[in-house]
């Protein structure tokens, strides 16, 4: 069955890519610093630690206010609502690399795995049945349910704040560029790390470890390690596998803000 385009998502992606390109024409060190700040907090403590290792796999426990703060950071990457994101990722682990079941396996096409799956009706950002099946725990939390409905709020607030305090070019650097980079960085985990790289463990899927994807995602590129033991909060299991997302969790643990860490 041919999937229909989600035109809203497609238009948003086009606009953000255009904004990212515009940003490159107005480079300053100050603007670069803002972009790196938003990119890091959105993708590292936000997506990598918050959405993925905490909410999806419960690789460690923390206070609710820390959970919510990490979640808010994740919304700066604009990768959909946390409840939806968790549901999609749990489904990915249940059906890894099974064509037509895994939401984004390269076995359905490289382009599909990297980007095309996001601009079609399936999976839909408002797919209630999907979220009820794969993320019922998060649907019991009023904060996560609310934020899942207003996924634009954090980015909009930050973007308008930058625009008010500076100018449009700086907003492009602070919003459009880091969000676009975070999109492709995360999508490379879906595509590249199921196509190229090394395999430390013999898993029943195509997952690989990719050092350069790990660099772009602060540790998510050690994907074969992750698929070998999904609940482990540490993905860079070998001494040379740099994993900044893990270092954030270690920092939280050292400060007494994380416990029952599955390393």
98-115 tens-digit pLDDT: 999 999 999 999 999 999
Q: Residue 250: how many CA atoms within 13 Å on its side-chain side?
A: 9
User: Has residue 219 been placed in a domain?
Assistant: no
User: Has residue 40 been placed in a domain?
Assistant: yes
User: Has residue 203 been placed in a domain?
Assistant: no
Say what the pLDDT of residue 3 is: 72
Say what the pLDDT of residue 5 is: 84
pLDDT at 125 over 70: no
Domain holding 37, by residue range, is: 7-196+246-259
Spatial separation of the C-alpha atoms in residues 254 and 186, rounded to whole Å? 28
Across 160-186, b (16+ Cβ under 10 Å) vs e yields eebbeeeeebbbbbbbbbbbbbbbebb
pLDDT at 160 over 60: yes
Please give the model's pTM, rounded to 2 decimal places.
0.95
| % of the chain beyond a pLDDT of 90 | 91
User: Has residue 214 been placed in a domain?
Assistant: no
- In the numeric block, the tokens 């919003």 are attached to 175
pLDDT at 121 over 80: no
Say what the pLDDT of residue 243 is: 98
Identify the CA nearest to 17 among candidates 164, 119, 87, 88.
119
User: pLDDT for 78-99, tens place per residue?
Assistant: 999 999 999 999 999 999 999 9
pLDDT at 1 over 60: no
Q: Angle formed by the axes of helices 64-75 and 82-94, to 10°?
A: 90
Confidence of residue 120 (pLDDT cuts 50, 70, 90): confident
Average pLDDT over residues 192-196: 97
Higher pLDDT, 241 or 121: 241
User: Has residue 113 been placed in a domain?
Assistant: yes
Spatial separation of the C-alpha atoms in residues 253 and 53, rounded to whole Å? 14
Average pLDDT over residues 15-38: 97
| Mean pLDDT of all residues belonging to the chain | 95
Spatial separation of the C-alpha atoms in residues 233 and 245, rounded to whole Å? 9
User: Has residue 140 been placed in a domain?
Assistant: yes
Say what the pLDDT of residue 6 is: 85
User: Has residue 224 been placed in a domain?
Assistant: no
User: Has residue 38 been placed in a domain?
Assistant: yes
pLDDT at 53 over 80: yes
Confidence of residue 123 (pLDDT cuts 50, 70, 90): low
Identify the CA nearest to 190 among candidates 208, 170, 169.
208
The total of structural domains in the chain comes to 1
Angle at 70 between CA 191 and CA 143, to 5 degrees: 105
| % of the chain beyond a pLDDT of 70 | 97
Residues 90 and 55: beta-carbon distance below 8 Å: no
Q: Distance of CA 204 to CAs 91, 199, 263, Å?
A: 16, 11, 22
Burial (Cβ within 10 Å: 0-12, 13-18, ≥19) of residue 140: exposed
């Amino acid at each position: 069955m041919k999937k229909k385009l989600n035109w809203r998502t497609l238009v948003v992606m086009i606009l953000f890519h255009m904004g990212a390109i515009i940003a490159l024409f107005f480079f300053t060190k100050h603007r670069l610093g803002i972009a790196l700040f938003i990119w890091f907090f959105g993708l590292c403590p936000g997506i990598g630690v918050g959405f993925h290792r905490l909410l999806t796999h419960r690789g460690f426990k923390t206070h609710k206010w820390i959970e919510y703060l990490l979640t808010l950071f994740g919304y700066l990457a604009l990768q959909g609502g946390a409840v939806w994101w968790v549901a999609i990722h749990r489904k990915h682990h249940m059906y890894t690399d099974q064509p037509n079941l895994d939401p984004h396996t390269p076995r359905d096409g490289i382009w599909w795995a990297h980007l095309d799956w996001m601009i079609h009706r399936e999976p839909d950002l408002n797919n209630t049945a999907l979220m009820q099946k794969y993320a019922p725990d998060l649907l019991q939390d009023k904060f996560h349910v609310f934020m899942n409905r207003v996924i634009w709020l954090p980015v909009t607030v930050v973007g308008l704040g930058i625009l008010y305090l500076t100018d449009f070019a700086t907003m492009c650097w602070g919003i459009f560029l880091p969000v676009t980079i975070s999109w492709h960085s995360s999508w490379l985990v879906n595509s590249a790390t199921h196509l190229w790289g090394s395999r430390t463990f013999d898993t029943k899927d195509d997952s690989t470890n990719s050092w350069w994807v790990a660099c772009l995602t602060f540790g998510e590129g050690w994907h074969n390690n992750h698929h070998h033991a999904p609940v482990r909060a540490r993905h860079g299991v070998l001494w040379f596998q740099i994993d900044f997302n893990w270092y954030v969790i270690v920092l939280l643990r050292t400060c007494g803000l994380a416990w029952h860490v599955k390393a």
